[in-house]
């Protein structure tokens, strides 16, 4: 099977020649220009030959056109620190306008996508990272303030979430026109230790569905549920073929999720204890357990989120090789 056939069969829960496998990471400093980020993603794919290529930009790419600023301070995950928040008072939410993906930082990210698709898009599904409206709102106002604004200034926040969702919708449409095989839809706040399910349905799901309108025809969409105590069942009808979450750290397990979601499940490996600090034996053991939990069907071996930038190259090779017969 080629990469497209293997991932498509996994989504359909059909037999595969071997389980699909995909890891991804941030590329700090490289992620500040479309050319260098594209080159880093292409090189990573060429080195390890994963079954999906997920383009992983800095989270700020989608909100810099509203005025956010950030800088690189050396985080091992490769993430950047925000140095300027756009929302400082409730009324600031009302100042956001729908972004044009052909301008500014969104256009730069689409240029990165175009380069990657032109280079490797015929051999591997290329999926573009998209942060959902509530995640973008968090980065606009700061994590410590999001819950306050959600509960005290719901009208202002909802107007902004509508604007963000429409901006996402336009960006995803443009990504599809450039040949993206799907999107990696990152949800960060569907955690019961952050919000109630009713709150997420009101402030999250409502705007997710609007944002995802232009993704419905893409074949390889992946949903990422970040964190612990995730509201897994709330997302079973989202237009995605793959769900990725921290399955080794929080329910449901792969075996439990297999009974609840009909598409592919991406997980099985711990990114810190195993990929960063473990060895090939531990990686193989977790791989074999993941295969056993899923019966070898509907599995894309991966971690619950990005691998740290300092994961040993040998462990990445071991993860890639662990799915071979």
d(CA 250, CA 245): 8
Q: Give the per-residue pLDDT at 325.
A: 77
Tens of pLDDT, residues 209-219: 999 999 999 99
Q: Select the CATH number that applies to the domain covering 3-321 from these four: 3.30.300.30, 3.20.20.210, 3.40.50.300, 3.20.20.80.
A: 3.20.20.210
Task: Report cis status (omega within 30 of 0) of the bond before 252.
Answer: yes
At residue 187, what are phi and psi to the nearest 5 degrees? -115, 125
DSSP 162: H
DSSP 295: T
8 Å CB contact between 231 and 192 = yes
Tens of pLDDT, residues 257-288: 999 999 999 999 999 999 999 999 999 999 99
Contact partners, residue 97, CB within 8 Å, separation at least 6: 163
pTM equals: 0.98
8 Å CB contact between 96 and 164 = yes
8 Å CB contact between 100 and 25 = no
d(CA 303, CA 283): 11
Starting at the edge strand found earlier in the chain, the sheet holding 53-55 runs 20-21, 299-303, 264-269, 242-245, 222-225, 182-187, 126-131, 53-55
Mean pLDDT to the nearest integer, 158-174: 98
> Within 13 Å and on the Cβ side, how many CA atoms surround 136?
30
Give the whole-number percent of the chain exceeding pLDDT 90: 100
Tens of pLDDT, residues 41-69: 999 999 999 999 999 999 999 999 999 99
Asked whether residue 17 carries a pLDDT value surpassing 80, the answer given is yes
């Amino acid at each position: 099977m080629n990469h497209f056939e293997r991932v498509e069969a996994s989504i359909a829960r059909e037999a595969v020649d071997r389980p699909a496998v995909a890891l991804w990471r941030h590329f700090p400093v490289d992620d500040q220009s479309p050319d260098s980020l594209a080159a880093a993603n292409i090189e990573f794919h060429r080195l390890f030959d994963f079954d999906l290529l997920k383009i992983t930009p800095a989270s700020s790419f989608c909100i810099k056109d509203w005025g956010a600023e950030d800088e690189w301070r050396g985080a091992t995950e490769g993430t950047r620190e925000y140095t300027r928040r756009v929302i400082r008072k409730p009324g600031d939410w009302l100042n956001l306008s729908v972004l044009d993906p052909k301008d500014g930082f969104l256009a730069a990210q689409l240029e990165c996508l175009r380069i990657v698709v032109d280079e490797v898009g015929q051999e591997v599904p290329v999926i573009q990272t998209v942060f959902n409206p509530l995640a973008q709102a968090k980065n606009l106002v700061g994590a410590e303030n999001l819950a306050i604004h959600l509960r005290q200034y719901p009208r202002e926040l909802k107007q902004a979430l509508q604007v963000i969702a429409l901006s996402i919708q336009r960006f995803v449409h443009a990504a599809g026109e450039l040949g993206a095989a799907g999107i990696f839809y990152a949800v960060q706040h569907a955690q019961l230790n952050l919000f109630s399910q009713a709150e997420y349905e009101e402030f999250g799901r409502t705007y997710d569905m609007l944002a995802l309108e232009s993704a419905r025809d893409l074949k390889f969409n992946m949903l990422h549920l970040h964190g612990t105590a995730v509201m897994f069942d709330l997302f079973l009808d989202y237009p995605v073929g793959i769900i990725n979450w921290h399955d080794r750290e929080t329910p449901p397990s792969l075996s439990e999720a297999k009974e609840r979601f009909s598409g592919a499940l991406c997980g099985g490996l711990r990114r810190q204890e195993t990929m960063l600090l473990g060895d090939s034996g531990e990686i193989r053991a977790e791989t074999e357990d993941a295969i056993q939990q899923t019966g070898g069907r509907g599995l894309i071996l991966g971690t619950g989120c990005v691998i740290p930038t300092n994961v040993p190259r040998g462990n990445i090779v071991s993860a890639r090789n662990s799915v071979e017969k």
